[in-house]
Amino acid sequence: MEKRMETDAFGEIGVPQEHKWGAQTQRSLGNFSIGSETMPMALIYAYVMIKKAAALTNAELGLLEENKSEAIARVCDDILAGNWDTEFPLAIWQTGSGTQTNMNVNEVIAHLANEKTGLNIHPNDDVNMGQSTNDTFPTAMHIAVVLQLEERLMPVLDDLQETLKKLENKYKDTIKIGRTHLQDATPLTFGQEVSGWREMFHQTQAMLRQTLVPLGRLPLGGTAVGTGMNTHPEFASRALVKISQYTAHSFEENPNKFHGLSSKDAFVFTHGALKALAANAMKCANDVRWLASGPRSGLGEISIPANEPGSSIMPGKVNPTQAEALTMVCVQVMGNDTTVGVAASQGNFELNVYMPVIAYNVLQSIALLSDSLALFNEKCLKGLTVEEEKMNQLVDQSLMLVTALSPRIGYDKASLIAKKAHEDKLTLKEAAVQLGVLTEEEYDAYIDPTQMV
């Protein structure tokens, strides 16, 4: 493999000729060859937006030559177009501030800009001008999470709620037995049951929207420890106007940069809402697979699409695979929440040094929930149908219809009817008549499932 020599403060190191990174990136590849988890491209793209805004802002302030600024901005646009993704290979498991990733971005931008223009653009002095890893890495985290929430997860939740609303309306008059404690309860309509699912996703989406407020406050301009040393006092405010334009989202300065560098409470708050979404998604997916269990020896109240064979040994078996995939994602997200919470608690003095793992876990949770919920909606919920005959049968044989008798005959007599029906394997009507509590005509007049929902 042909190499070129690159230099940093530690001396020379060989870099593969075909790659555009520099010495610090190459050292990181050797020093942190841990696992297979690499920095998410969503975070890299957010970082590149910061570098573009920084270069243009520093030129406006008279600190960076116009030709260098324009060259950096053009390269950033090229990277954001997805043309250089393979140049950002660094592991999550690196320095806790993300310094190697900041330098990876700086080096690639400088190298590409120099190749295109012949200028002598320096990764630290020019691309990183007025910045530190300590303020740019958390800024990139905030931007990446906001964009992934708004552009990836929120549309999925909108589509999911639309599907559930259609099911809710379609089956608003379809009566089924309710269940509490996994035991029979009083009836409701399937539309009402689905409305509970829909509202869960509506509520957690609202929670996620609340997290956009603290996520929108960026610590750019704080540099090393929050004081803003080596940066122009107008740098952050000007750069954030540009970043807001690039992203079509409104970002503002964190008024306290010391908080912005050392605390990651915005990500704990955000991931808490993601965990709430995972909990609700788990409940919905489990309800669906319980209700679809069978087809002959389970509840069998609904049917879901058969997307693929379910068994390598049992012919004709179909499994609720989309529900299973979604629930595994939910378990992963719940585990990620613990990681984020513990990592965020480690903000020693002026800097949290667990930022890469926080970024990785939050962005992974968003990606996994987005993808799995989209598939659950498309390949399961949209094809869900009701087995009305089975629902009617289970309503008719339920002992909990006796609840409607309590206001007329009292709780104790209603309990006797339910107990006799269960022990003697009778219908509620038969038990009521045999006990002499009600006539058939009285029972029929009092027990009407349509009046119980």
Give CATH 1.10.40.30 domain extents, the chain: 398-451
Looking at the DSSP assignment, which residues form a beta bridge with residue 188?
176
118: left (phi over 0), alpha (psi -120 to 50) or beta: left
Q: How far is Cα 281 from Cα 208, in angstroms, rounded to an integer? A: 14
| Catalytic center residues | 181, 311
DSSP conformation letters of 291-354: HT--SSSS--SEE----S---SSSTT----HHHHHHHHHHHHHHHHHHHHHHHHTTEETTEES-
Q: At 382, which helix (H) or strand (E)? A: none
The residue assigned the tokens 């090229």 is: 78
Distance CA 45, CA 32 (A): 22
How far, in Å, CA of 431 to CA of 441, rounded? 14
List, as one string, the DSSP characters of 219-255. -TT-TTTSS-TTS-TTHHHHHHHHHHHHHTS--EE-S
Task: Identify the burial level of 433 via C-beta atoms within 10 angstroms of its C-beta, where 0-12 means exposed, 13-18 middle and 19 or more buried.
Answer: middle
> Boundaries of CATH 1.10.275.10 in the chain?
3-129
Write the CATH number of the domain with boundaries 142-211+263-389.
1.20.200.10
Q: Are 335 and 274 in contact (CB under 8 A)?
A: no
The CATH architecture assigned to 398-451 reads: Orthogonal Bundle (1.10)
Identify the CATH assignment for 3-129 out of 1.10.275.10, 3.40.50.10800, 3.40.640.10, 1.10.287.3510: 1.10.275.10
| Pair 414, 371: CB distance under 8 Å | no
> Rounded to the nearest 5°, which phi and psi values hold at 151?
-100, -20
pTM, rounded to two decimals: 0.96
Q: What is the pLDDT along the chain (453 residues), one digit of tens a residue?
A: 899 999 999 999 999 999 999 999 999 999 999 999 999 999 999 999 999 999 999 999 999 999 999 999 999 999 999 999 999 999 999 999 999 999 999 999 999 999 999 999 999 999 999 999 999 999 999 999 999 999 999 999 999 999 999 999 999 999 999 999 999 999 999 999 999 999 999 999 999 999 999 999 999 999 999 999 999 999 999 999 999 999 999 999 999 999 999 999 999 999 999 999 999 999 999 999 999 999 889 999 999 999 888 877 787 788 999 999 999 999 999 999 999 999 999 989 999 999 999 999 999 999 999 999 999 999 999 999 999 999 999 998 888 888 998 999 999 998 999 999 999 999 898 999 999 999 999 888 998 888 889
